Amino acid sequence: MRRALFPGSFDPFHNGHLEVVERASKLFDEVVVAAMRNPQKAGPLFSLEERMDLVRLAVDGMQNVSVVALASLVVDLAREVEANVIVRGLRAVSDFEIELQMAQMNRELSGIDTLFVPTSSEYSYLSSKLIREVAAYGGNVSSLVPKAVDVALRERGRPS
């Protein structure tokens, strides 16, 4: 059984993330998407429960994908869910340096390897931060995020 763990903040989950999950789900028997309890970025827009629900709605219909919370080290969760590989998306060279460092650290800590999925150029400029910013000022992000995320962002409204 080949099981991959895809960790991230997913605040919110967008089409770049979805593409990584879709591609990983074809490469592995199972994919576990893990939403970080405490993203480093202060004050997430969506709570952990909301982020997990939005990921679940987005991956609905993908039989071999599940969603969990990440409250520990990624490598500890990987061991817990018996994942053989950590999956991360790569947008541009700018992602590479930090991702390589994390991959090497995780391998040192646990022996678990990281597989990088290069994003398609269609989504390579997407980040959760940018989506939050555009949506906060009423920009239309409907082509960049799953339907449920678009609805949730609209409900969240503009900052006062």
Q: Is 28 annotated as a binding residue?
A: no
| Residue 133 CA from chain centroid, whole number | 18
Member of 10, 25, 33, 135 binding ligand ADP (CB under 6 A): 10
Shortest CB 111 distance to ligand ADP, Å: 20
Member of 81, 84, 95, 112 binding ligand ADP (CB under 6 A): 95
Q: Do 32 and 4 form a contact (C-beta atoms < 8 A)?
A: yes
Q: Do 4 and 27 form a contact (C-beta atoms < 8 A)?
A: yes
Q: Do 32 and 6 form a contact (C-beta atoms < 8 A)?
A: yes
Member of 70, 86, 126, 144 binding ligand ADP (CB under 6 A): 126
Q: What does the alpha-carbon distance between residue 40 and residue 138 come to, in Å, rounded to a whole number?
A: 25
Binding residues: 9-10, 17, 41, 74, 88-91, 99, 123-129
The residues that are catalytic are 17, 41, 91, 128
